[in-house]
Amino acid sequence: MSNPNVYLKTARYGKDLVRLLRVYREPSGVQRCTELTVRLLLEGDIETSFTKADNTVVVTTDTCKNTVNVLAKRSQNVDNIEVFAQELTRHVLNQYRHISSVHVKIIKHKWTRLNVDGKPHPHSFVRDGED
């Protein structure tokens, strides 16, 4: 039985710790890579999923994760995390009209090219902190 004096003020949900690695292979054989950890949180008209046990308005966390991965594969802006975050936000707001707010946090992990025999190796890297 629901209490008419109780209401849901805000709700936010989504997916955290979505990890992705993009490898760029140049025609010369030299490679570079970008690794990101993404958090995608959504707000909107989702109250019924909490108050009426109606999950038809929920964008599943697996969908959030898959959205990050698919857009990362298609995007030319994965290296520019601010622009990539805007692309994610625009996509979610356009795809799911009942979502009114999208919160994206992206951490870019630094990879440094290894030196082998005093020269930068074309495709060997070591993780070197955060960018």
pLDDT tens column, 50-106: 778 878 888 989 999 999 999 999 999 999 999 999 999 999 999 999 999 999 999
Contact present, 19 and 36 (Cβ < 8 Å):
yes
Q: Quote the CATH superfamily of domain 13-130.
A: Urate Oxidase; (3.10.270.10)
What percent of the chain lies above the pLDDT cut of 90?
A: 50
Contact present, 22 and 74 (Cβ < 8 Å):
no
Would you kindly state where each structural domain of the chain is located, as residue ranges? 13-130
SS3 26: coil
Q: What is the mean pLDDT of the chain?
A: 88
Q: Average pLDDT for residues 125-131, to the nearest whole number?
A: 74
